[in-house]
Chain A
Amino acid sequence: MRYMDEYRNPELGRKLLGKIEETLRKFPTKIAVMEVCGTHTMSIARAGIGRLLAGKVGLLSGPGCPVCVTPNDYMDRAVAWARCKDVIIATFGDMMKVPGSTSNLYREKVAGAQIAIVYSPLEAIGIAEACPSRKVIFLAIGFETTAPTIAATIKCAREKNLKNFFIHCGHKLVPPAMRALVNDPELRIDGFICPGHVSAIIGSHPYEFIAREYYIPCVITGFEPLDILEAVWMIVNQISRGNHATVEIQYTRAVKPAGNPNALSLMNEVFEPVDSIWRGLGTIPESGLIIQESYADFDAVKRMPVAVEETREHPACICGMILRGVRLPVDCPLFRTMCNPENPIGPCMVSSEGACAAYLKYENR
C-alpha cells in the first residue's frame, strides 16, 4: 500500500539500526527516548523496535492514549447519561470497555442502554436527525488530531439547527502534558518522538519550548518502522552534536511547520483551552479544551445536568505511573493475571493503543 510499504523496507531498517549503534558507541550511558502517541506505542511494539534498540536506547511510552488519560469521572458521567431513557450515547468503539468507577458502557448496553458506536462524529449527527425525540450525546475525547473533526461536527449541527445533539467534551492537548513530563523529577527524557498526526494539525512550533527551555531534541515522526528508526537516528545525532536541541520534522510527507491552519482556526473558533486532569499526571494548566460560550448549546455538561456517582479508582492499578513512563506494565501486580484484555481493570489494558495492551500482545512472548 502506497506510503506504507516503502517505509517497511527491512534492508534500510537494518542499515539505520547500524548507524544508530555506531553513533551511540561514544555515548557513556543508554539514552531515554519517549513517545507520546498511542499509535507510536503500537507501531514500536508491533515491529519489535524496543527489542532491536534494547541496551542502547530505552524507549518510554508516555501519556499518548487519550482513552487512557481520561479520568474515571468522565466515564462515570457518560454511564449516568446512558441510564437516561431519552438519551442515545454515540461513541468511538475504543470507549466501550473503558472502566468507570463501577460500570462501563458495554455493561450498560447489555443492560438496555442505547449506545451507538460510530466511526465518524458526523454519523452521530445522522442519528440525531433520525431520532428527533431522543437526545444524542457524542463522547468527544482525543488530542489535537480529533478536536478539529469535532469542531467541524459542532458547526455542522449548528447549520442544521439541531436541538437534540450534544458533545461531552474531553479533549486534551499534547504539548502542555509534555511540559509536565519534563518537569517530573522522577523522569529523565533525552529525546521526544513527537506525535505525527497531532502535528499534522498543530505543526512544529508548539514543541519549540521543549528544545529551547529544556534542551531536549524533538522529532515529529511517522508511524512506519523506517519512520521511527530514522527519528531515533535524528535524535541520537542531535545529542551527539551536542550544540543545541531543535524540533525537526521526520514525517515531512504529512507535517508542515504551520500544521493545518484551517483545522486550527476551526478548533479555536469552537473550543478554548482550560486546565484539565490527566490520569497519572494530575491537573495540567491549559491542557484541555472546553466548548466556547458561543457554542454552549451543544455542551452536554451545561445543557444536560445529571447525577454522577462518586468516583473511585482501583487501589492496585498503576496505570497512572505507566502513563508517566516511570513504571512498566510488568511492574503492575494486576498485569496479565487480574487485568487482561478480557477483563481490563485499568484503561491502559482496555485501549487497543494502551501501553499494557501493547506490551501483552507484542512484548511479553
Chain B
Amino acid sequence: MCLAVPMKIVKLTGTDAVVELGGVQRHINLALLSDSELKIGDYVIVHAGFAIQKLDNADAEERLKLLQEMLELL
C-alpha cells in the first residue's frame, strides 16, 4: 500500500510532471512538493500519482560509498 518508487522527471508543467522508470512514463501531481525546487532529471518518490519526496542524489551516493568503505575497513 505504501509502495512508492523512485522515478525520473522528464517533463515539468506547473503543478504536474511526467516521470519515467524503465521506459514507463506516468503523469504525476507535484502538490505535495510545492515548496521544493524541482528540475528535469531530478528523481522523486512516486506514490498514488503524487510525488511525495525528492530524492537526495548527493546523499544516496555518499551513503553507499561510506557503507562500502566501512565494510572493507572493519
Chain A contacts to B: CB under 8 angstroms: 1-4, 6-7, 12, 15-16, 19, 37-39, 64-67, 92, 94, 119-123, 141-143, 145-146, 148-149, 152, 155-156, 195, 197-198, 200-201, 226, 230, 252-255, 260-263, 266, 351, 353
CB–CB B48/A146 < 8 A: yes
CB–CB A152/B29 < 8 A: yes
CB–CB A197/B56 < 8 A: no
CB–CB A262/B33 < 8 A: yes
A3-B55, A152-B29, A253-B63 known; A198 vs B2 contact (CB < 8 Å): yes
Of B29, B33, B57, chain A has the most CB atoms within 10 Å of the CB of B29
Task: Specify which chain A residues have a CB less than 8 angstroms from the CB of B4 in the assembled complex.
Answer: 39, 145, 197, 200
The smallest beta-carbon distance between A66 and chain B, in angstroms, is: 5
CB–CB A67/B1 < 8 A: yes
CB–CB B60/A260 < 8 A: no
The smallest beta-carbon distance between A225 and chain B, in angstroms, is: 13
CB–CB A353/B3 < 8 A: yes
Task: Specify which chain B residues have a CB less than 8 angstroms from the CB of A141 in the assembled complex.
Answer: 1
Closest 5 CB pairs of A and B: A120-B49, A253-B60, A3-B6, A145-B2, A200-B53
CB–CB A262/B1 < 8 A: no
Interface size class of B (residues with CB under 8 A): 35 or more
Task: Specify which chain B residues have a CB less than 8 angstroms from the CB of A122 in the assembled complex.
Answer: 29, 49
Q: CA of A201 to CA of B71 in the docked complex: distance in angstroms?
A: 30
The smallest beta-carbon distance between A223 and chain B, in angstroms, is: 8
Chain B contacts to A: CB under 8 angstroms: 1-4, 6, 8, 21-22, 28-29, 31-36, 43, 45, 47-50, 52-53, 55-57, 59-60, 63-64, 67-68, 71, 74
CB–CB B1/A142 < 8 A: yes
In the assembled complex, 8 residue pairs joining A and B whose CB atoms fall closer than 8 Å, in A order, are A121-B49, A145-B1, A145-B52, A149-B52, A156-B31, A197-B52, A252-B56, A353-B3
The A interface, classified by DSSP as helix, strand, loop or mixed, is helix
The smallest beta-carbon distance between A88 and chain B, in angstroms, is: 18
Of A4, A152, A226, A252, chain B has the most CB atoms within 10 Å of the CB of A152
CB–CB A252/B59 < 8 A: yes
Q: Which residue of chain B has the shortest Cβ distance to A150 in the bound complex?
A: B48
Q: CA of A255 to CA of B71 in the docked complex: distance in angstroms?
A: 23
CB–CB B55/A260 < 8 A: no
CB–CB A261/B35 < 8 A: yes
The smallest beta-carbon distance between A194 and chain B, in angstroms, is: 12
The smallest beta-carbon distance between B63 and chain A, in angstroms, is: 6
A6-B64, A142-B1, A143-B1 known; A260 vs B52 contact (CB < 8 Å): yes
Q: CA of A121 to CA of B49 in the docked complex: distance in angstroms?
A: 8
Q: Which residue of chain B has the shortest Cβ distance to A145 in the bound complex?
A: B2
**Which listed residue, B32, B43, B68, touches A260 by the CB 8 Å rule?**
B32
Task: Specify which chain A residues have a CB less than 8 angstroms from the CB of B28 in the assembled complex.
Answer: 120
The smallest beta-carbon distance between A293 and chain B, in angstroms, is: 22
Task: Specify which chain B residues have a CB less than 8 angstroms from the CB of A120 in the assembled complex.
Answer: 28-29, 48-50
